[in-house]
Amino acid sequence: MHEYYMRQALTIAEYAIGRTSPNPLVGAVIVRDGRIVGQGWHRQAGTPHAEIHALNQAGELARGATMYVTLEPCSHYGLTGPCTEAIIAAGIRQVVAAMTDPNPEVAGNGFKKLREAGIEVIEGVFAEAAARQNEVFLKWITTGMPFTVLKTATTLDGKIATVAGQSQWITGPEARNFVHMLRDRYDAIVTGIGTVIADNPQLTTRLPQGGKNPVRVIVDSMGRTPPDANVVSDGQARTIIAVSRDAPRQKLELLARHGAEIWELDRANGGLDLRALFRRLGKDRLTGVLVEAGAALNASLFNDNLVDKVHWFVSPQIVGGHSAPGPVGGAGIAALSGAITLEDVETGMVGKDLLITAYIARREGRDVYRACGRIGQS
């Protein structure tokens, strides 16, 4: 029975996907005498947490009831008060939680306070599902680095464009709509200067029901982004241009006057220090990053172990051509033993296109996910 109500809590937590950063997704369900009497989900950072919404809905019916919550209730004062105090005051008899909150300000203290107040606490119900749901938050809160998802689309023969450079549209409308849902979900979108010059993209969310535009991050070591490029001139979203310290001052000043933020970085491995860039994104509380880039930047991100997950579309088309570009450039590998390995691979059709979703094996983000997913389990 615990599993039934925890599934409901996990389901309603998803209602706020893309809206709670830098906080986690959390759902809460209150059950009394076999009936749900209150439920809630965290809607946005700085607003009441899921537990508070559920308690407000339950009212006096919360006394003696069981609360199911997807993440350990907070026990500290932040932008809102501690949920543990509200749970104790409401007279909740039992708390069933999916997983411990790895946030150092919580990290077991919430459970400790509940138990000290005489509330029974059961941990580890659907812990792995809860950890996957909050994979973005878990990586960021434990490492300071954003969870990074690389999206690409290729033809069946592995090309991202024709020999003439034409790339619109490799995928169909359903796949493109899926990408806009990804943009709505993540805090920032990263691309390279080559993509900006070739395609002049907007990098905004264009869903029928609207959506949230991600922060746009352009990797542009020499400040070559045109001031009239959409990402600079359209005013639709915040735009960060990451440049090297030897980029021409006049170009940077012009871009800044047009509203772009200029982040100067050291060089590393023949290009910008991408790890430093992603650390700074994490410090800026950009917890989830979507990458839509070309072969060179994709290769650099893989080489620097910065990618956690991929969404890889394969279109049922063949274009051929030795010079037609593929999705990952760089020097490549000499032996298959050095190949990047994917795990937890899922496949499905999105319109006419095949979508492969998978995680990069042996990466810190996945280690964090697995460790957190096992919390509370025997």
**Which residue in 89, 21, 22 sits closest to 51, CA to CA?**
89
- E strand residue ranges, the chain: 27-32, 35-41, 66-69, 94-97, 120-123, 147-155, 188-192, 215-219, 239-244, 261-265, 267-268, 271-272, 288-291, 309-315, 342-350, 353-360
Q: How far apart are CA 140 and CA 264, in angstroms?
A: 22
Q: Report residue 142 CA to chain centroid gap.
A: 14
DSSP three-state, residue 10: helix
Cβ neighbours of residue 166 under 8 Å, at least 6 residues apart? none
What is the residue type of 261? Answer: E
Q: How far apart are CA 37 and CA 20, in angstroms?
A: 24
Q: Report residue 123 CA to chain centroid gap.
A: 25
By the 10 Å C-beta count (0-12 exposed, 13-18 middle, 19+ buried), 28 is classed as buried
The partner residues of 120 in beta bridges, in order of sequence, read 94
Known catalytic residue at 51: yes
Tell me which of 51, 72, 135, 292 is the catalytic residue. Answer: 51
Whole-angstrom CA distances from 104 to 38, 100, 107, 369 are 29, 11, 5, 16
Backbone angles phi, psi at 299, to 5 degrees: -60, -45
Cα first-last separation, the chain: 19
Cβ(368)–Cβ(143) below 8 Å: yes
Can you spell out the DSSP letters for 134-151? THHHHHHHHHSSPEEEEE
What is the residue type of 138? Answer: L
Q: Report residue 25 CA to chain centroid gap.
A: 11
DSSP three-state, residue 374: coil
Q: Which residues are catalytic?
A: 51
